Amino acid sequence: MWFQAWKRNLVTVSGTEKAMQGVADTLREFWAHRPVRPRAGRKIGGVATGIAMRYQIDPVIVRIAFVALALSGGVGLPMYLAGWLLLPEEGDEVSPLEALINKGTSSMSQAQTVLLSFLMFPALAFTFGSGGFQVIVTLAATVACIYLLQKNRGHLAPAAVAEPAPVPPVAGAPAWDPLGAAPFAWDLPEPAAAPQPPAPRPRKPRVALATAGAAALVIAGSAIAWTWAPWFTVPHVIGLLIAVLAAGLLIGSFTGGARGLIWLLVPLSVAGFGMTAVGFEGPHNLGSLSDTPKSVADVKDRYRIGVGSVMLDLRQLPDSGSVKTAVEADLGELIVHVPKNADVTFNCEATSIGELNCFGKTAEGSVEQVSGTDFGDNGEGGLKIDLDVRTNVGEVKVLRD
């Protein structure tokens, strides 16, 4: 029995190694035959146009993908700069970055290459400083798309227009025959061929119509979800619609017939970015929030931030009365300090992934929650506090000190 189990495990490990080797080979093939940035038809650095020519897809689709990535936590900006530095220009031996380390020649000057390299630092700082977990997911999805492109369309090459070969002169024939009397110079018209009916135009797949139908289903499903999932908000719906439209554009780039979806994807991406960065509650949805109320009336019903940190200090409150408040964040650190003798009923939750430490009760991982009541050192009696501390991704602490 143990031998059969060992054999099965060996087969599984061998299959995994083969799969990983296949992925590595595909990525190496992508690097060996990477896109070339053309000199004509480019908008900025030719990265999007080069990718489109390499895999024979619509360049507008690639440009929209970079814009969407730029709106998804800023990922598109460092990726475009990386393509500018690592993809060779048409006619060059190597890429600008390779030329900088003396691996060949590039038409881009060293000063321009150094400037682009320096621009990568603020671009990466902005991306990873503001995007958090979303950036990692977006980067992983982008690498997966590059892998699939190379796997399925890596064998294609940009179509080249062949120049017509010159017709060689007939041996012994004069270079000029003013009368056209020589038989070999006669150029009699061929009899006209019978007119043929025009070939029917091939019907393009109705990708746009199918995508619009899927988007309508998302809207209908969202209306139902709102009745039983209060956390499901308008930004979630916009995110799902963007995903559906992006999938339709990706399919349409290979089959045709979906270019009109761009005019829906662009405004939705801008709206989604605005709601994510600013939110419905004003421009203070990013950064840090701190409050130290000194009376029960000073305690707000809700302390909310999108991305950042919240520090709520309740230790200045009186020894009697009752308060109820919620502290919430999408991504960040939440810290609440409570008085030593207060009776605290608490609920601490990380709805996606996080770390919890509430009155010594700890948890970490995905979808974690701890709750309970803590009466302090003097037992039950005194100020009563009802706390709901919740984040999607981040750290939650409720401390008695």
User: 311 forms bridges with which residues in the sheet?
Assistant: 290, 335
- CA 74/CA 357 separation, integer angstroms: 32
Cβ neighbours for 366, distance < 8 A, ≥ 6 positions apart? 350, 352, 353
* 53 contacts: CB under 8 Å, gap ≥ 6: 35, 36, 38, 59, 158
Helices in 35-132 by DSSP H: which ranges? 47-55, 59-71, 76-86, 96-100, 110-131
What pLDDT is attached to residue 164?
41
Which residues contact residue 22 at a Cβ distance below 8 angstroms, ignoring those fewer than 6 apart?
A: none
Backbone angles phi, psi at 366, to 5 degrees: -105, 140
110-131 and 76-86 helices, crossing angle to 10° = 150
Phi, psi of 397 (to 5 degrees): -135, 130
d(CA 307, CA 43): 34
Please check whether residue 78 is in contact with residue 120, taking contact to mean a CB–CB distance below 8 angstroms.
yes
Which CA distances in Å does 74 have to 135, 297, 365?
8, 41, 26
Contact 16, 120 (CB under 8 A): no
Using CA atoms, how far apart are residues 126 and 107, in angstroms rounded to an integer?
Answer: 30
Res 80: pLDDT: 87
Position 240 scores a pLDDT of 73
pLDDT on residue 303: 94
CB atoms within 10 A of CB 244: 21
Of 377, 357, 356, give the one whose Cα is nearest residue 366.
356
Residues of the chain short of pLDDT 70, as ranges, are: 1-23, 72-73, 128-135, 137, 157-205, 225-236, 239, 249-250, 252-263, 265-266, 269-286, 365-367
User: Which residue shows structure tokens 């007119």?
Assistant: 195
Instruction: Name residues whose C-beta falls within 8 Å of residue 326's C-beta, 6 or more positions apart in sequence.
Output: 301, 302, 303, 304, 387, 388, 389, 390
**Read out DSSP for 232-247?**
--HHHHHHHHHHHHHH
**Residue owning tokens 């990692």:** 136
Structure tokens, 335: 């810290």
Amino acid type, 204 = K
Report DSSP state, residue 160: -
Residue 98 burial (CB count, 10 A): 18
User: Residue 308 is encoded by which pair of tokens?
Assistant: 């950042």
- CA–CA separation, 233 vs 226, rounded Å? 8
Distance between CA atoms of 35 and 48, rounded to whole angstroms? 9
Q: Whole-angstrom Cα distance, residue 239 to residue 118?
A: 32
Helix ranges (H only) for 101-227 are: 110-131, 133-153, 207-225
- The answer to whether residues 131 and 124 touch, using CB atoms and an 8 Å cutoff, is no
**Cα separation, 311 vs 338, whole angstroms:** 11
pTM flag (> 0.85)? no
